[in-house]
Chain A
Amino acid sequence: MVALIVMGASTSIGSNGLIAETRVPPGQHDAVVARTVGGMISYTRWPEPRPVQRLCVSGATTYTKGFGRIGQSAGRQVQTQVVLPGGPTRGCDILYFGAMADADRLRMLRSIRDQPVLSIAEADADCRGGTIFCLRVLPDRVGFRLSIDAASRSTVRIDPRVLRIALPEDGA
């Protein structure tokens, strides 16, 4: 029903490449993912930022072991908590999706629609699942995509520089 616009710009990964990617030293995926998510948080503006932001992790995740120190790269205090798939999202500023049933994910996404919540999917290669950011973790690098459609349906504001580097070179 909603066409998600997925932006790919990196020539190094081909036409379907990620707009942003981070090289990963072997065995440090957790730290890099934490830093990437922290960067996303740092370039996101909430209408009424809370002094301590709540990062809700839901579903089966692989790279969240470094989230304890995410505050460093996010530039603010971040408190991590686990939310059951399909569970209530109230109080979450950031919603990190691990693997879960589509119905649970859709329910959770519906619940944060028009809410100031930054949604990030850990494993959604095409970024058509309805989250604003989609991580793409490869053996040697961590990248992410941005869904403009999802970003526009949220009340959080993504820094245009991140949007801009998300746009494909041909501007389509």
Chain B
Amino acid sequence: MSGTTPLPTLRRVLARMHLRVTLFAVGLTGLTVLLAGFAAIGAYAGQNLHLIGRSAGYSAAPSIVFDDPVAARQAVAPLLEPGVAGIALLKPDGTVLATVEREGQDDSLARWIADRLFFATPVDEPVIHLGSRIGTVRVRGEGSAVAAYIRDGLLGTLVCLVLTGLAAWLLSRRLRADIVEPLNAIADAAHSFRREETLAPKVPSASIREVEALRIDFNALIAELGDWRQHMRRENETLSHKASHDALTGLPNRALFERRAAEMLAEARAGEASFVLLYADADSFKPINDRHGHAAGDAVLIETATRIRSCLRARDVAARLGGDEFAVLLAAPSGADAAERVTGEIAARMAEPFRLPSGQTVTMTLSLGAAIYPGDGQDLTTLINRADAAMYAAKGDLHARQQGV
């Protein structure tokens, strides 16, 4: 089968099969009845001709005895019934005494067939008088009755065929409701499930056991697949979250930060808005780590992330770039005011002492540097460098202040 040929539908296949079976049955039955009728009618027609011949011989015997053609005609004329084409009375020497013929013949094909089939040869009956044969009655049959039977039979068969077609059509409609529609529902559900339009489509119940069993299994399978797909989606989300977030603090990592920064830059560029990029670096993280251990360092980092996050709006982004480096994006529109305010808030929050798991408290501050798009740079690298430079400047100030004190 070539790939371009559309496959027939189940309904079409079933309807075609129904039609074939019923047509075959009707055709076979019709043919059998027709042939049996042919045989019976042929036999009866032959018997009828013999009876008519005998009757004509009886009626016409006196006219043969008296050699009277007129009386002979009158004697046999009433026997010209339907089915008899003509009656001839023959004298013993073979000469014709009288002949009567039926008038008004029809010339249909059915009549021709019937005549050839059943009445090809005439029927001869002897005429007996006083125990000896005085003549012969020759009866020719005609097939108008058989022709009518053939016509009616064919018409009946045709009507039956039409009824059969109608019945097959109704049956196929019924099948459509019983089989094809539930199957279509299953197919539609599978299709929409595949295109992820629905999570777990439910197929309505069917009225045929096999289809119903298929439906139940299908629904169960779809439900399992749906669960599995949801699980996979969660797993993927977790994995992608893990790939883009810092495991310790839960903040976005450098990769995600750079992606979000690029997005924000594109948005700001398109909307002609400004946004702020902050860089932050812990000022005294290493001594805490050295003195109190890694667990303490981790706790301080987690707390730092929480504190930074608490100073931001939902649309702002806080990321841990690595070690004790953090970065913040203040979503557009934001400018120098916002940069100053957030820097201040973070500094204020960082001023609070950290409580370590051991119960001790430590303090750690952040050096922050800000860069504002578009004033400080038109691209991300420039902005990052500016913010980084500003941060180091702030750190330098801090060192200077500490040494100065």
A residues bordering B, Cβ < 8 Å?
Answer: 9-12, 19-23, 32, 35-36, 39, 42-43, 73, 75, 143-144, 159, 161-162, 164-165, 169
When chains A and B are docked, how far (Å) is the Cα of A75 from the Cα of B65? 11
A81 to chain B, nearest CB (A): 23
Q: A35-B67, A39-B65, A161-B58 are in contact. List 17 more A-B contacts (CB 8 A).
A: A9-B70, A9-B74, A20-B62, A20-B63, A20-B66, A21-B68, A22-B67, A22-B68, A39-B62, A42-B130, A143-B68, A144-B66, A159-B62, A161-B61, A165-B62, A165-B71, A165-B75
* Cα distance A36–B64 in the bound complex, in angstroms: 11
Kindly list the 9 A-B residue pairs having the minimum CB-CB distance in the complex, ordered from nearest: A75-B130, A39-B65, A22-B67, A165-B71, A20-B68, A20-B66, A10-B70, A161-B62, A162-B62
| B130 surroundings in chain A (CB, below 8 A) | 42, 75
What is the minimal beta-carbon distance from B96 to any residue of chain A, in angstroms? 13
Knowing A75-B130, A161-B58, the reply to whether A169 touches B66 (Cβ < 8 A) is no
Contacts of A9 in B (CB 8 A): 70-71, 74
CB atoms of B68 and A75 under 8 A apart: no
Which residue of A21, A43, A73, A143 contacts B62 across the interface (Cβ within 8 Å)?
Answer: A43
Are B74 and A169 in contact (CB-based, < 8 A)?
A: yes
Smallest Cβ-Cβ distance to A38: which chain B residue: B65
Min CB distance B95 to A, Å, is 11
Q: In the complex, what residue of chain B is closest to A19 when comparing beta carbons?
A: B71
B59 interface residue per 8 A CB criterion? yes
Can you give 29 A-B contacts (C-beta < 8 A)?
A: A9-B70, A9-B71, A10-B70, A12-B70, A19-B71, A20-B63, A20-B71, A21-B70, A21-B71, A22-B67, A32-B67, A39-B65, A42-B65, A73-B65, A75-B129, A75-B130, A75-B131, A143-B68, A144-B66, A159-B62, A161-B58, A161-B59, A161-B61, A162-B62, A164-B75, A165-B62, A165-B71, A165-B74, A169-B74
Q: Known contacts A42-B130, A159-B62, A161-B59; is A11 also within 8 Å of B68 by CB?
A: no
The answer, among B59, B66, B75, for a CB contact under 8 Å with A39, is: B66
- Determine the distance from Cα of A19 to Cα of B74 in the docked complex, in whole angstroms: 10
B70 nearest in chain A by CB position? A10
Q: How far is the CA of A79 from the CA of B33 in the complex (A)?
A: 64
Q: Which chain B residues border A19 with CB–CB below 8 Å?
A: 71
A21 to B71, CA, bound (A): 8
Q: How many whole Å from A28's CB to the nearest CB in chain B?
A: 12
Q: How far is the CB of B18 from chain A (nearest CB, A)?
A: 63
B65 contacts across to A, CB distance below 8 A = 39, 42-43, 73
In the complex, which residues 104-119 of chain B have their Cβ closer than 8 Å to any Cβ of chain A? none
| Dominant secondary structure at the B interface | helix
- Distance of B78 from chain A, by nearest CB (Å): 10
Contacts from B to A (Cβ < 8 Å): 58-59, 61-63, 65-68, 70-71, 74-75, 129-131
A21 touches B58 (CB 8 A): no
B66 and A21 form a contact (CB under 8 A): yes
In Å, the complex CA distance between A136 and B81 comes to 34
Report A-chain residues with C-beta under 8 Å of the C-beta of B68: 20-22, 143, 165
Measured between alpha carbons, how far is A75 from B131 in the docked complex, in Å? 9
Q: How far is the CA of A20 from the CA of B58 in the complex (A)?
A: 16
What's the Cα separation between A20 and B68 when bound, in Å?
Answer: 6
How close is B135's CB to chain A, nearest CB, in angstroms?
A: 13
Q: Name the B residues within 8 Å of A165 (CB-CB).
A: 62-63, 68, 71, 74-75
Q: How far, in Å, is A97 (CB) from chain B's closest CB?
A: 19
* A-chain residues with CB within 8 Å of residue B75 when the two chains form the complex: 161, 164-165
Give bound CA distance, A143 to B58, whole Å: 21
Complex Cα gap A117–B129 (Å):
22
User: What residue in chain B is nearest A36 (Cβ atoms)?
Assistant: B66
CA distance A159 to B75 in the complex (A): 14
- A11-B70 CB under 8 A given contacts A73-B65, A165-B75: yes
Residues on B with beta carbons closer than 8 Å to the beta carbon of A10: 70-71
Q: Chain B: which residue is nearest A76 at the CB level?
A: B130
Most B CB contacts (10 A, CB to CB) among A36, A39, A144, A164 go to A39
Residues of A within 8 A of B67 (CB): 22-23, 32, 35
Question: Which chain B residues border A144 with CB–CB below 8 Å?
Answer: 66
The docked-state distance in angstroms from the alpha carbon of A136 to that of B130 is 25
Contacts of A21 in B (CB 8 A): 66, 68, 70-71
Residue of A nearest to B75 (CB): A165
Chain B residues within 8 Å of A32, by CB:
67
Kindly list chain A residues whose C-beta atoms are within 8 Å of the C-beta of B58: 161
Does the CB pair A42–B74 fall under 8 Å? no
Q: Which residue of A lies closest to B65 (CB)?
A: A39
* Chain B residues whose CB sits within 8 angstroms of the CB of A161 once the complex forms: 58-59, 61-62, 75
| Contact partners of A75 in chain B: CB under 8 A | 129-131
Interface centre among B66, B75, B130 (most CB of A within 10 A): B66
**Min distance, Cβ B244 to any Cβ of chain A, angstroms:** 123
**Chain B residues closer than 8 Å to A169, beta-carbon distance:** 74
Which B residues are CB-close (under 8 A) to A35?
Answer: 67
